Structure 1
């Protein structure tokens, strides 16, 4: 008389006892995966992309300001070499050059700050725990 080693018929209670720990583990792993993906998405959308956007916008406005600064600096140099220029002309040319110099500084700071914000977000993405890391 042969007795089967494994029964092919499982009761609902036996099936539940076998599958409940596996389902629990799968749900926990899926939950951690979703949380990690949400953290990555939040960092990407609210830190990295705005940082790049600030840098790009500031650089966009920096380039024409830089061209104007070079133009006004050349004009101020030419005016300072001219013997017929008055003190009023020199003061106006110097003020125009300084105005563009300050604007270039401000836009350059915007480029740098945007880059720093993006770098902080990228660092945050790199320091997130891996998706398959076990809890300590």
Structure 2
């Protein structure tokens, strides 16, 4: 959600890497080097080594990327652009953030009673059929 929100705010793609390594470099340039606790969710040894090889970087100031965006929107973006998925703002957090709260009608929210059952898709050997 963070990258999409950033692209909406900036009206342009946020990270345009053409290779996996270039994409990783752009992420590190934007978010800075993750600390060790944020690295725990990266289980692939090669990915961890690639991040380590990029050296120590401080995160970019979002204000420099989005000079015309209100601070309240940048605050939400900063909560969404976090290395560790467990530390990122949840959808509920985002909807209740001061930037989005005026647009969110809790009464109109339909909440699922449980997880969706997608087992019917297993009958398609190649995935879902084309429409």
Q: Same fold (TM over 0.5)?
A: no
Higher helix share: 1
TM (norm. structure 1) is 0.19
TM (norm. structure 2) is 0.19
